[in-house]
Amino acid sequence: MTVVHIIGWSMVAGVVGWRLAWHRAKTTFDRAVTQARAEARQLRAEADRWRANSIRLSKEIAAWKAGHQEGRADVVSIVPMLMAARQNAATCSCMADDQVSGSR
């Protein structure tokens, strides 16, 4: 009877050991899955924040480009007036000789 008891208790010990190992492995795996899901959620939230930031920056860049183009167009349109004013300043004597002598 002792051989049967040894075989029986060995089988019981094997099954219990296998069950405990299975339960521990399942708990570890579940914990890893939960942690991975939490990290994925955090990464998704961070990606959304960066996406919103990149959209904001692209709008700012577009606005800056439009302002830059407008400023460049303003400078290009002013250049002929500046050239004409420079020529007028070279040929124009703003105070005529008779105006200068009459003010004394």
Would 37 be classed as within a structural domain?
Answer: yes
Residue 102 pLDDT more than 70? no
More confident residue, 97 or 57: 57
Selection from 14, 19, 11, 16 nearest residue 3 by Cα: 11
Domain housing 34: 2-63
Would 95 be classed as within a structural domain?
Answer: no
CA distances from residue 4 to 1, 10, 13, 103 in whole angstroms, order as listed: 5, 10, 14, 138
Would 11 be classed as within a structural domain?
Answer: yes
* Positions of E strands within 1-104: none
Would 82 be classed as within a structural domain?
Answer: no
Most confident residue range from 27-31, 68-72, 75-79: 27-31
The string of pLDDT tens digits covering residues 15-66 is 999 999 999 999 999 999 999 999 999 999 999 999 999 999 999 999 999 9
Number of domains into which the chain is organized: 1
